[in-house]
Amino acid sequence: MVVLLCCQVKQARSVAQATSSLVNAIKGEALEQKDVDMQKRLLGAAQALADATYKMVEAAKVSIIAYDGDRCGRCYYTMMRNEKQIQCSTRALGHPI
């Protein structure tokens, strides 16, 4: 289980770094948009992506702190669910991770 937790943390860190770059790129593109509707959609997508990433990272942290079997398992599934949300958000923008 310790190896699994280590891998989860590494994956969470890797995804967080990638999504951080993507969020910044989306924000930069939004600021360049003249279409206000498109700007709002891009900023909303960036916010959703940042929120999902935050939740995933928090779940990874909790899974290490709460290394006690059942609770750890729930944290793992929470982290995986948040990772799926990130994937869906990036696919919607045309930037799959």
Per-block mean pLDDT, blocks of 10 residues, the chain (97 long):
58 82 92 92 89 80 59 62 72 61
pLDDT of residue 28: 94
Instruction: Note the pLDDT of residue 30.
Output: 92
Residue 92 lies in a domain: yes
DSSP 3-state of 96:
coil
pLDDT of residue 1: 46
Both tokens of 21, joined, read 């770059």
Domain annotation covers residue 60: yes
Classify residue 51: in a domain, yes or no: yes
d(CA 48, CA 84): 12
Q: Is residue 82 part of a domain?
A: yes
Q: Record the pTM.
A: 0.62
Q: What is the DSSP string of 25-46?
A: HHHHHHHH-S-HHHHHHHHHHH
Residue type, 73: G
Q: Is residue 17 part of a domain?
A: no
